[in-house]
């Protein structure tokens, strides 16, 4: 037994050495990513959780306040408004924007000519820099701007796109949809182009028209991409604040104050970094739970 | 297996060290208070027998790359300063307070990257002093040879509990700009300087043409600037927002005077419809409309530069007006403020002293007059007009003011000449901002203004009551006198 044990050891050792070398190189390649993730993602998340328990002051030092920041959030009148506005923004985004890129992708895939040009045209709004985008759309939304001029042709009254409380969020979603649909459309397009051609050929031989092909082949084939895009849109819209900040500053009277804009205001205008961190922790927890739930549902459906 | 574990351990340790290194760089500053001396330490010079001053390194606020004239002037000042103080090493930082305000400053202080001093505005006084972002410079100011010639009204803005936290660069009193061309084209007489709210409304109505995109009047309705603008009207109505009563700070603006101001705003928007259709504006947005000739009257204290130098108005078409009064004979209160230099509280005493000396190096000196001449000539070279400070850092009856007036007289047609009648009245009723939680009060009023402008049937009394209660319970109750 003893001899056997001794004789196996170098074999095991050499196998483990080979494995270690394999792991070593793998880990070495992973190292930069791990560092970046730790420093720029996980450290801020953990520090955010830590700071949410403190009153932060860069000069005078931090004071431990326990859960006070969380209580302050729930006492703040703007908190519920911000949640309601964010949900409204997400909802409008789904109603107005979710189907647009998929439709554009399917329409492009059905083109026989100019497909490349159409792809480029659809993607162009996405490359407009944010500053120019907000400038142009503020002009479009002006009371005597092009959109209202166009509506006046049909005898409609001018719309106060950004200063009417019921219109302001709608206007921002409209602008955002125009800006971002191109990039999402390309993802859908890639999925559509990967659908085996023989399915379409068989359908055509069977006499299927365009709508039947889309309904029975295209849409079912890209269903998983729909779910993925839905999750991504939910996450991204729940964190939106730049267009609201640039276009309306959260107004009129907090009608476009989103959850993240409230975080930004609390942190960088009111200097309540502790409270802002606590709001970040609440959002992080909610989104993580939501993502887990959606992925679980997706996996269940896939099985 | 052992080697794998070792590898993982080494990697984990490396990451942990990296994280620890990052945390150390900030935690020390968070807890260290004013003990740090970042941005260059005061280090002892080599011993040479005689007492030599310690070497000091300061980081100065350097003009932006497009400010060529200012950069040349600053390089010249650095050279002269170092000739007089050879032990001072000077580093340049082109971060300016306007690049992100107090929020960015806070981050820079936490990271130990803030310059030795920076330029800021009167509206920031409370934020900076409350958060400990401004060093107490009383000692340096008391020793300053020209202290008696400084403009006291400006000095007082950053004075808290008898201590000074800034050095004035120049000030303003809130004024109004009028595009006289619009009035002339319409054949409408300009109002007098002793105008009232009603006359302001009438003047705005006279040039208001919404179908052409021309608004009679614009006042800020976005960001805290909205509340700040409104406070001028509050003062004119006799409402001073806060008072100290029974050892407590009390919100007072839920009053008849406060209601009058909200009613004025309601009338401007819904009854007279003289505001821009897209009324959700702050200062840069209003300036853009004014430059484009789409505003008759602008509530903006820099309207001359905006109109003449940025908008290309003829000098006679850009009029500057004092704020109106509520009714004939009542005081036309106007908020006063300005630009100030604040010294970084994290700097060592030697650095703070040198920063103070550097800031004030050209003040009350011939070199300051030469710099002023360069600025005028730069405007002249661009066919622009130089608008002198209405409230300079020096007292207007000082010797230095006489010299400066003589210099300005050497450039007729280049240096803007204020109407003498205007100069007599514009600052008669200058008043500082509310002393406690001004920014929080402005934020509350901004929401109220936006509600009034977006809802014709807004309940003004209810808004005022709720706003006043919010200021009291959330902010003023926490003030310890």
Q: What is the mean pLDDT of residues B20-45?
A: 38
Chain B residues with beta carbon closer than 8 angstroms to that of A43: 19, 22
What is the average pLDDT score of chain B? 87
**B316 and B272 fall within a common domain:** yes
Return d(Cα A239, Cα B197) in angstroms, integer.
44
Q: What is the DSSP string of A262-292?
A: HHHHHHHTS--HHHHHHHHHHHHHHHHHHHH
3-state secondary structure at position B94: coil
Which pair of tokens denotes residue A219? 């849409």
Cβ of residue A138 closer than 8 Å to a chain B Cβ: yes
Q: Are strands B163-164 and B242-245 parallel, antiparallel or unpaired?
A: unpaired
Q: For residue B93, what is the enclosing H or E element?
A: strand B88-93
Give the pLDDT score at B70. Answer: 83
Q: What is the mean pLDDT of residues B173-192?
A: 95
| CA of residue A296 relative to chain centroid, distance | 19
* B residues 157..216 contacting A (CB < 8 A): 210-213
Interhelix angle A273-302/A43-51, rounded to 10 degrees, is 130
**B191 and B287 fall within a common domain:** yes
Number of domains present in the structure of chain B = 3
Nearest to B280 among A39, A57, A163 (CB): A163
Chain A residues with beta carbon closer than 8 angstroms to that of B212: 144
CATH (domain of B465):
3.40.190.10
Cβ of residue B13 closer than 8 Å to a chain A Cβ: no
Give me the residue label for tokens 């326990």. A66
First-to-last alpha carbon distance for chain B, in angstroms, is: 67
Higher pLDDT, B153 or A184: A184
Chain B residues with beta carbon closer than 8 angstroms to that of A141: 278
Q: What residues have CB less than 8 Å from B89, skipping those under 6 apart?
A: B40, B55, B56, B57, B58
Chain A residues with beta carbon closer than 8 angstroms to that of B277: 142-144, 158, 160, 163
Cβ of residue A27 closer than 8 Å to a chain B Cβ: yes
B20 within some domain: no
Interhelix angle A259-268/A77-92, rounded to 10 degrees, is 140
Cβ of residue A248 closer than 8 Å to a chain B Cβ: yes
Chain A residues with beta carbon closer than 8 angstroms to that of B213: 142-144
Nearest to B109 among A27, A59, A162 (CB): A59
Chain B residues with beta carbon closer than 8 angstroms to that of A38: 15, 18-19
Nearest to B30 among A62, A165, A248 (CB): A62
**B179 and B281 fall within a common domain:** yes
Positive or negative torsion for Cα A97, A244, B450, B278: negative
Q: Inter-chain contact B447–A39, Cβ cutoff 8 Å? A: no
B382 within some domain: yes
Q: Are strands A54-55 and A63-64 parallel, antiparallel or unpaired?
A: antiparallel
Q: Inter-chain contact B280–A249, Cβ cutoff 8 Å? A: yes
**B327 and B205 fall within a common domain:** yes
Nearest to B277 among A56, A138, A160 (CB): A160
B23 within some domain: no
Cβ of residue B279 closer than 8 Å to a chain A Cβ: yes
- Write down the ipTM of this complex: 0.76
Q: Inter-chain contact B450–A141, Cβ cutoff 8 Å? A: no
Q: Using pLDDT thresholds of 50, 70 and 90, give the confidence band for residue B33.
A: very low
Which pair of tokens denotes residue A133? 């985008």
**B329 and B342 fall within a common domain:** no
Q: What residues have CB less than 8 Å from B234, skipping those under 6 apart?
A: B240, B241, B253, B257, B258, B261
Cβ of residue B473 closer than 8 Å to a chain A Cβ: no
**B156 and B78 fall within a common domain:** yes
B46 within some domain: no
**B211 and B343 fall within a common domain:** no
Cβ of residue A144 closer than 8 Å to a chain B Cβ: yes
Give the pLDDT score at B412. Answer: 94
Q: Are strands B175-179 and B295-298 parallel, antiparallel or unpaired?
A: antiparallel
Higher pLDDT, B72 or A278: A278
Q: Inter-chain contact A251–B280, Cβ cutoff 8 Å? A: yes
B99 within some domain: yes
B28 within some domain: no
Return d(Cα B321, Cα B319) in angstroms, integer.
6
Chain A residues with beta carbon closer than 8 angstroms to that of B107: 58
Q: In 10 A of CB B86, how many CB atoms?
A: 11
Give the pLDDT score at A293. Answer: 86
Q: What is the mean pLDDT of residues A172-182?
A: 93
**B223 and B291 fall within a common domain:** yes
Expressed in percent and rounded to 5, the helix, strand and coil fractions of chain B are 50, 15, 35
Ordered alpha helix ranges (H), B186-282: 197-207, 223-236, 256-266
**B454 and B413 fall within a common domain:** no
**B235 and B319 fall within a common domain:** yes
Q: Inter-chain contact A58–B131, Cβ cutoff 8 Å? A: yes
Show the beta-strand stretches assigned E in chain A: 54-55, 63-64
Smallest Cα distance from A133 to chain B, Å:
16
| CA of residue A160 relative to chain centroid, distance | 28
Give the pLDDT score at B47. Answer: 41
Write out the residue range of the structural domain in which residue B286 sits: 175-333+430-478
Cβ of residue B346 closer than 8 Å to a chain A Cβ: yes
Give me the residue label for tokens 């500082």. B432
Highest mean pLDDT among A54-58, B52-56, B272-276: B272-276
Rounded alpha-carbon distances, angstroms, from residue A16 to A23, A284, B402: 10, 40, 89
How do residues B395-404 score in pLDDT, each as one tens digit? 988 889 999 9
Q: Inter-chain contact B11–A31, Cβ cutoff 8 Å? A: yes
How do residues B49-104 score in pLDDT, each as one tens digit? 456 778 999 999 999 888 887 888 899 999 999 999 999 999 999 888 877 777 78
DSSP class of residue B62 equals: P
Preceding amide of B135 cis, omega within 30: no
Return d(Cα B5, Cα A277) in angstroms, integer.
36
Return d(Cα A73, Cα B246) in angstroms, integer.
31
pLDDT score of B292 more than 80: yes
**B92 and B214 fall within a common domain:** no
B34 within some domain: no
3-state secondary structure at position B432: coil
| CA of residue A87 relative to chain centroid, distance | 14
**B94 and B219 fall within a common domain:** no
B467 within some domain: yes
Q: Using pLDDT thresholds of 50, 70 and 90, give the confidence band for residue B41.
A: very low
């Amino acid at each position: 037994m003893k001899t056997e044990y001794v004789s196996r050891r170098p074999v095991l050792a050499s196998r483990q050495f080979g494995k270690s070398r394999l792991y070593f190189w793998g880990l070495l390649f992973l190292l930069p990513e791990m560092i970046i993730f730790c420093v720029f993602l996980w450290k801020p998340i953990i520090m955010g959780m830590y700071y949410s328990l403190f009153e932060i002051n860069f000069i005078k030092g931090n004071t431990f306040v326990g859960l006070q920041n969380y209580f302050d959030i729930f006492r703040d009148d703007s908190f519920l408004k911000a949640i309601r506005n964010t949900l409204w923004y997400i909802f409008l985004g789904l109603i107005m924007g979710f189907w647009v890129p998929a439709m554009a992708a399917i329409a492009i895939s059905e083109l026989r000519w100019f497909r490349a040009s159409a792809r480029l045209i659809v993607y162009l709004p996405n490359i407009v820099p944010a500053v120019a985008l907000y400038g142009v759309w503020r002009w479009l939304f002006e009371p005597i701007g092009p959109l209202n001029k166009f509506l006046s042709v049909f005898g409609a009254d001018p719309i106060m796109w950004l200063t009417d409380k019921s219109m302001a969020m709608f206007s921002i979603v409209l602008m955002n949809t125009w800006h971002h649909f191109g990039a999402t459309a390309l993802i859908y397009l890639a999925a559509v182009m990967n659908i085996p051609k023989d399915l379409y050929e068989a359908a055509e031989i069977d006499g299927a028209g365009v709508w039947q092909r889309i309904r029975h082949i295209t849409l079912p084939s890209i269903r998983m991409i729909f779910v993925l895009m839905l999750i991504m849109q939910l996450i991204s819209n729940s964190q939106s604040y730049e267009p609201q900040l640039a276009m309306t500053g959260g107004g009129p009277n907090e009608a476009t104050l989103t959850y993240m804009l409230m975080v930004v205001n609390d942190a960088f205008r009111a200097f309540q970094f502790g409270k802002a961190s606590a709001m970040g922790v609440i959002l992080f927890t909610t989104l993580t739970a939501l993502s887990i739930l959606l992925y679980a549902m997706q996996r269940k459906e896939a099985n | 297996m052992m080697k794998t574990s070792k590898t993982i351990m080494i990697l984990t340790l490396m990451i942990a060290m990296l994280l620890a290194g990052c945390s150390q760089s900030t935690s020390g500053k968070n807890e260290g208070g004013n003990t740090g001396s970042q941005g260059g330490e005061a280090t002892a010079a080599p011993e040479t027998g005689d007492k030599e001053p310690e070497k000091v390194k300061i980081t100065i606020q350097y003009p932006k790359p497009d400010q060529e004239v200012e950069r040349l002037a600053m390089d010249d000042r650095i050279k002269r300063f170092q000739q007089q103080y050879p032990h001072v090493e000077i580093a340049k930082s082109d971060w300016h307070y306007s690049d992100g305000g107090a929020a960015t400053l806070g981050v820079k202080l936490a990271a130990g990257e803030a310059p030795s001093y920076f330029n800021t505005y009167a509206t920031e006084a409370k934020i900076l002093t409350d958060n400990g972002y401004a060093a107490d410079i009383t000692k340096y100011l008391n020793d300053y040879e020209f202290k008696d010639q400084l403009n006291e009204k400006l000095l007082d803005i950053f004075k808290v509990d008898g201590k000074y936290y800034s050095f004035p660069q120049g000030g303003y009193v809130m004024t109004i700009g009028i595009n006289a061309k619009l009035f002339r084209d319409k054949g409408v007489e300009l109002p007098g300087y002793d105008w009232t709210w009603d006359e302001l409304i009438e003047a705005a109505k006279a040039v208001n043409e919404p179908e052409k995109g021309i608004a009679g009047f614009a006042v800020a309705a976005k960001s805290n600037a909205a509340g700040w603008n409104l406070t001028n009207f509050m003062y004119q109505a006799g409402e001073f927002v806060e008072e100290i009563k029974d050892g407590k700070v009390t919100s007072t603006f839920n009053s008849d005077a406060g209601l009058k101001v909200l009613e004025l705003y309601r009338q401007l928007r819904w009854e007279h419809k003289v505001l821009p259709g897209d009324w959700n504006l702050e200062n840069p947005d209003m300036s853009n409309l004014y430059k484009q000739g789409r505003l008759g009257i602008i509530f903006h204290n820099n309207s001359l530069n905006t109109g003449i130098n940025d908008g290309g108005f003829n000098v006679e078409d850009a009029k500057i007006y004092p704020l109106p009064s509520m009714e004939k004979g009542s005081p036309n209160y106007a908020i006063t403020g300005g630009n100030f230099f604040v010294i970084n509280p994290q700097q060592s005493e030697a650095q703070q002293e040198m920063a103070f000396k550097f800031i004030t190096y050209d003040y009350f000196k011939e070199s300051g007059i030469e710099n002023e001449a360069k600025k005028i000539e730069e405007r002249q070279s661009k066919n622009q007009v130089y608008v002198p400070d209405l409230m300079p850092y020096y007292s207007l009856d000082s010797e230095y003011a006489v010299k400066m007036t003589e210099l300005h007289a050497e450039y007729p047609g280049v240096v803007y000449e204020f109407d003498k009648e205007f100069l007599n009245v514009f600052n008669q009723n200058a008043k500082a901002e509310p002393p406690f939680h001004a920014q929080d009060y402005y934020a509350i009023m901004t929401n109220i203004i936006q509600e009034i402008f977006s809802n014709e049937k807004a309940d003004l009394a209810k808004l005022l009551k709720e706003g006043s209660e919010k200021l009291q319970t959330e902010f003023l109750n926490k003030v310890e006198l």
